[in-house]
């Protein structure tokens, strides 16, 4: 009889430990990676409105991508992946998508607005950001996004032509402006991202 009670006690103990591991594993998945405390970057969006990142978006969960409008391959994939996430959360309050251009010389607010129109993005909760090169580069450094520009050549009308290799990443930022998770942008698993977004939206 004593052995039976002991076995039940041990089994209950292991179940408690297992549940704790499962619970904490979920928390670790979205643990804070980086904070913007005391740091902000002055940018401008596709409507030519000044944005202080991330302060202007405090209180919102952000899904942030890094693109440039002349990108021939990976950026369109990233943009379509984020658009899928946006369309899966049409009623989500306090959720925004952000696309940061790392080609500020060519990506003016007007160009970013046209980019959004071409991709049929719902711009109510999607901001495309550009700005002074120094501010953009400091923000990318903070977010650990690397870029490498190819040599520039010129078209017959003297238009510069170049491409930019870059980190394939999408960043999830919580309501307090803290980085909580990074994903591969071109291979985004939307169902997992949506689950993570909903978890952060539920946080007080």
Question: pTM score, two decimals?
Answer: 0.84
DSSP at 90: T
Whether residue 69 is found in the same domain as residue 96:
yes
Output the 3-class SS for 24-36.
Answer: HHHHHHCCCCEEC
Q: What is the mean pLDDT of each run of 10 residues along the chain (204 residues)?
A: 49 45 54 92 98 97 97 94 95 95 97 98 97 97 95 92 94 97 93 96 90
DSSP at 63: E
pLDDT digits (tens, 9 = 90+) for 45-79: 999 999 999 999 999 999 999 999 999 989 999 99
Whether residue 26 is found in the same domain as residue 92:
no
Rounded-to-integer distance, Cα 131 and Cα 136, Å = 6
Rounded-to-integer distance, Cα 13 and Cα 22, Å = 14
Whether residue 118 is found in the same domain as residue 185:
yes
Whether residue 71 is found in the same domain as residue 6:
no
Whether residue 48 is found in the same domain as residue 105:
yes
pLDDT digits (tens, 9 = 90+) for 182-203: 999 999 999 999 999 999 999 9
Whether residue 80 is found in the same domain as residue 64:
yes
Rounded-to-integer distance, Cα 193 and Cα 189, Å = 6
Whether residue 9 is found in the same domain as residue 63:
no
Whether residue 140 is found in the same domain as residue 56:
yes
Structural domain including 101 reads 34-202
Query: How many domains would you assign to the chain?
Result: 2
Whether residue 71 is found in the same domain as residue 9:
no
Whether residue 15 is found in the same domain as residue 59:
no
Whether residue 82 is found in the same domain as residue 139:
yes
The CATH number of the domain holding residue 51 is 3.40.30.10
């Amino acid at each position: 009889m004593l052995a039976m009670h002991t076995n039940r006690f041990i089994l209950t103990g292991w179940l408690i430990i297992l549940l704790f591991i499962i619970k904490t594993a979920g928390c670790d998945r979205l643990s804070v990676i980086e904070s913007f405390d005391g740091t902000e970057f002055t940018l401008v969006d596709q409507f030519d409105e000044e944005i202080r990142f991330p302060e202007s978006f405090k209180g919102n969960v952000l899904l942030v991508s890094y693109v440039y409008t002349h990108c021939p391959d990976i950026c369109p994939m990233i943009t379509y992946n984020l658009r899928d996430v946006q369309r899966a959360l049409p009623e989500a309050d306090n959720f925004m998508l952000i696309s940061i251009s790392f080609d500020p010389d060519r990506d003016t607010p007007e160009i970013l607005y046209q980019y959004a129109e071409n991709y049929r993005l719902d711009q109510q909760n999607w901001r495309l950001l550009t700005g002074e090169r120094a501010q953009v580069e400091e923000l990318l450094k903070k977010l650990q996004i690397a870029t490498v520009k190819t040599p520039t050549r010129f078209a017959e009308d003297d238009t510069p032509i170049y491409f930019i290799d870059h980190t394939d990443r999408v960043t999830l930022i919580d309501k307090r402006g803290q980085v909580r998770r990074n994903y591969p942008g071109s291979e985004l698993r939307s169902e997992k991202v949506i689950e993570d977004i909903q978890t952060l939206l539920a946080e007080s």
